[in-house]
Structure 1
Amino acid sequence: MTGAETRPRALLLGGTGAMGIYLQGELASMGWDVLVTSRKPRASLPGISFIRGNAKDPAFLRALSSERYEAVVDFMTWSPDCFKDVMPVLLGMSGQYVFLSSYRVFSPATVITERSPRLLETCPDRRYAGGGEYAIAKAREEDILRASGAPNWTIVRPAITYSRERFQLGTLESHEWLWRAVKGLPVPMAQEVLERECTLTWGRDVARMIARLLGNPATRGEDFNISTSKHQTWGEVLSVYRDALDFEVKTVTLETYERYCCWGDSFLGYCPQLRYDRLVDRVLDNSKVLAATGMREEELASTREGILSELRRFIGAPSFPAGISAYAQGGLDRACGWPSALLSAVSLDGGTLRGGLRYARGWFRKS
């Protein structure tokens, strides 16, 4: 490349999260001009520009589509109906459109490959398969994309990704369990979850794999599971977390965990993420993406190495999103059997009265 005019352009829709923050820099270092949509104002970086706006706003998306990009990487979460409407625009504005799906679309399997059965077709609970929960919605959107007849799409399915402010523990997100751990409050967990195998991949490594799929004609019309092949139990992941931050874990029954520590579906009466993902072994085969990118498994960080690198840096300067959910903390306190987070949670969720009411709803919630 001899000048800025020859640099390929990549547009990242909503690319400021756990994967996007690394993908920005990775693409810039590879010679791409990177544009990133963000709902908050952000300062530009070398090779990276931010466009303030919501990619779900039709007017904003139309303005973006007035230009052409060598690649568009879509981190947005759409409903299937909405995706069907915007897909022609997304495909039309890009030489290669990269759709972020999820490994959660797959049914339980000894080892998950790109050809493993999906929950959409195989789940015995047809009410769930006929609904719009995250894993089902992503599978439906994959089908919409395949049926488009367009040649310029690539589907990527990241496994659980950790990065900076995103550290999952079972079904719990950082703003739920890590907020408690930093404050010295107990974290509830079910033994049945701790015994299950999981595949966690560093956001840095996910970004490196996705970046190397871009601009490669052989990856168009293909799907890739984006992950390490390393795996471990949630109990081993918990041990790594506790090496960086000592905190109390309260063992609770599975029934208690599902009722108070998960975002269940009131229509189904249970939490699909728990039943179909966290309570089954999730081991992924990543041979297809390694072959396409020319990468080797040895280049990907171990779970321990990656988590400790990110978590120790986070703990040194912890920053949680404004408005920790008093509702969620009420449920987690109920699981632990004591209202230990009450005063802290209500002060962060819309003020004392409003927060107190939300906390009470979480404490007494039915599902």
Structure 2
Amino acid sequence: MTHEIKLLVETLKTWQQLGKKAVFVSVVDLEGSSYRRPGVRMLISENGEYVGALSGGCVESEIERQAQSVFKSGKAKVITYDGRLRIGCEGNIRILIEPVFLSEEFFVAFDQQLKIRKSFSMESWFYREVGEYSNIGSIVLLKGKKYALNSSFNTDDLENQLCFSQTFEPLFQLYIFGAEHDAVQLSQAAKLLGWQVVVVASPDESKSCDYFPGASSLISPSFDNIDTSAIDKQTAVVLMTHSFNKDVQYLLALKDIHPAYIGLLGSVNRRERIISMLLDYMPDISTDFIDQIYGPAGINVGAESAAEIAVSILAEILSVVRNQAPLSLREKLGSIHG
């Protein structure tokens, strides 16, 4: 979700620089089930452009129509959308539409929050009844300071409103160790998920970041100088160097980290040989570190090409991070997503 709110903030900044007015749209409540849950948000400009989505495309036209009154009056409103009658879903969603304009101070503070990889929160205050209101809206809390999306929203007068609160974790990031063609495919696929991708190439590589369209950066530290301080619980690590020695040296450099996921490319036999070499170099290495290695990396979906292998690896990362056993959705009872 953090990458989605990041995109909205970046888009809003651009629109404001161009002099475009915008409204901010949030799903704040749900009765039953729906395509997406509360916390989904989007932006709509005064000329009908929009970024983000609340559904697979069926709700957006209605929201755009409803937003016109917000552009005219400058007041936020609450609407509902009954998916049971219109799109075949089983839920009724409550949506907050509010005018939005953010200061340069907010944009600076938001960027800093992402860089230091600290969580932040957002609160949307609303009434259950459908209608237009003079004092409902959303606030973003950064380092203890409140930033209202709409300057006319009085955050000191919230006695009777309902609140939907959401916490945003640091951007999920993927560290790819290796700079071969399959790393390019994994980088591109991870970017589509909104992940921040860092490619780590050995010093003897001649690649640049331009070779990896999905990557935010490429670094080439020596094995003894790999900085692991940015690798946290919101990080997945995949080793795909196609070199036994390089994989072992990278694992030695990573031995003290505990990310969300560590994947090792290759066969079971290759994994066992690498772990054996790792133990030869460091017999007292933590068994907890070895146990967190997923190798061969990926879920069995019959992947053959580099692109398909990337999908397999990303699916496994998601299943580990979300603590979900891979399962065909037709076999799942209850809500199919989330």
Higher relative contact order, structure no. (Cα contacts within 8 Å, ≥ 6 residues apart): 1
- Scaled by the length of structure 2, the TM-score of the pair is 0.36
Higher strand share: 2
- Scaled by the length of structure 1, the TM-score of the pair is 0.34
Higher helix share: 1
